[in-house]
Amino acid sequence: MKYFDILTGMKYTEPHGFRCKVQSMELQKVVSAYEKDLAVVEEFLEKEHESYVELIPEISRHIIMSGGKRIRPLLLMICSDLFGFHGDVRHPLAAVLEFIHTASLLHDDVIDHANMRRGKTSANRIWGNAASVLVGDYLYAKAFKLLTASSNHDVQKIVSEATTTMVEGETIQLIKSGDVAISEEEYFSIIEKKTAVLMAAACALGAVLAGENSESVDLMKEFGAKLGVTFQLTDDTLDYVGVEEDFGKTIGMDIREGKMTLPLIWALRQCSPSERDRIRDIIASKEADDEEVIEIARFIRAYGGIDYALARAAGFVDEAKKLIAPLPESFAKEALLAVADHILKRNL
């Protein structure tokens, strides 16, 4: 198997070990402040992925313990704090979000024929598609077991609706695969559904647990959704400009999979009809080689697709920050602003 750095054209025969990125001071401070809560969440994750069927915890551990930053559990903790809720039910609910996230990544790596995840060989490559799908199902089922920790119907509704929306988003993306006519609106609708909705749920849950009114719940949902869109926008940009060992995933995968993301959608809107045909043919072949991936990466840069996508990401973070600006000053509010900045700057 070959791994490939799109900037240098260098090839590696092995994936690089996962290097934990140095976090910005602010985020470090936030993580430290919620360290005890995150440790309890970790206990739930460790206990609940166990099974007497040894293959299940073996595969679960591979992905759960691979350096994920627990952004969704963290957001739930901070948003609960923001509205003054500190009950124990936060911890299993935060684990629910992390399990749903992890299950979706196991399934996503099968769908995307991924080779790497968080700097390690992905589970589908090691154990195969069937085992990955089943362990994703197991974690997803465990999430619903943990969800019974809350008898609040609004909590259950938010989590189940988020999950169905994620599947819809991923399915629309599949339908739109390789479609060079895809619009920006369609792209944003996909990433709102497949990615942003779970961060929106994390933030909304904080307000719901605190018994806040629907106005506050909707505000937090919108805030989380903007963070989620930013997260996916930076992810989609890093797929073209990231350095593999920092990104922890194979660079250039989106184009090989026919995934239409904003940097490419932007460039396709600016280019000539013949360039557009050329790009469509490469994507349609489903077998883009390294040279063709580099050609597309250069094409995107030439038309400013990277700058455009990053500017949009920065715009979403600004909007998210503005949404919570009217809230009273607190550590939790500062923490949310730090997480927002971190999501924009990660690995760039």
Q: Which residues face 116 on adjacent strands?
A: 121
Assign residue 16 a region (left: φ > 0; alpha: ψ between -120 and 50; beta: otherwise): beta
SS (HEC) of 251-307: CCHHHHCCCCCHHHHHHHHHCCHHHHHHHHHHHHHCCCCHHHHHHHHHHHHHCCHHH
- The only residue of 30, 45, 77, 103 in contact with ligand FPP, by rule CB under 6 A: 103
Give the interface size with ligand FPP as a residue count (CB under 6 A). 17
Q: Is 239 in the site for Mg ion (CB under 5 A)?
A: no
Residues between 205 and 224 that touch ligand FPP (CB under 6 A): none
For the chain, how long is the longest CA-to-CA vector? 60
| 136: partner contacted, choices ligand FPP, Mg ion, none (Cβ within 5-8 A by kind) | ligand FPP
Kindly tell me the burial class for residue 346, based on how many C-beta atoms sit within 10 Å of its own C-beta (0-12, 13-18, 19 or more). Answer: buried
- The only residue of 81, 108, 192, 244 in contact with Mg ion, by rule CB under 5 A: 108
CB of 168 to ligand FPP, least distance (A): 9
| 141: partner contacted, choices Mg ion, ligand FPP, none (Cβ within 5-8 A by kind) | none
Q: Give the SS3 label for residue 8.
A: coil
Q: Which residues face 11 on adjacent strands?
A: 4
* Residue 166 contacts residue 193 (beta carbons within 8 Å): yes
Q: Is 244 in the site for Mg ion (CB under 5 A)?
A: no
Residue indicated by tokens 């990615």:
195
Q: Is 49 in the site for ligand FPP (CB under 6 A)?
A: no
Q: Give CA–CA dist 54/142, Å, rounded.
A: 16
Q: Is 108 in the site for ligand FPP (CB under 6 A)?
A: yes
Residues between 242 and 281 that touch ligand FPP (CB under 6 A): 249
* Residue 124 contacts residue 105 (beta carbons within 8 Å): no
- The only residue of 31, 59, 100, 233 in contact with ligand FPP, by rule CB under 6 A: 100
Q: Is 230 in the site for ligand FPP (CB under 6 A)?
A: no
Name the one range near ligand FPP by CB under 6 A: 24-32, 75-83, 107-115, 153-161. 107-115
The size of the chain, in residues, is: 348
For ligand FPP, the closer of residues 119 and 271 by Cβ is: 119
CB of 253 to Mg ion, least distance (A): 7
Q: Is 254 in the site for Mg ion (CB under 5 A)?
A: no
What are φ and ψ of residue 347, in 5° steps? 55, 15
Name the one range near ligand FPP by CB under 6 A: 7-15, 25-33, 97-105, 290-298. 97-105
- The residues that touch ligand FPP, with contacts defined as CB under 6 A, are 100, 103-104, 107-108, 112, 114, 136, 140, 163, 166-167, 170, 194-195, 235, 249
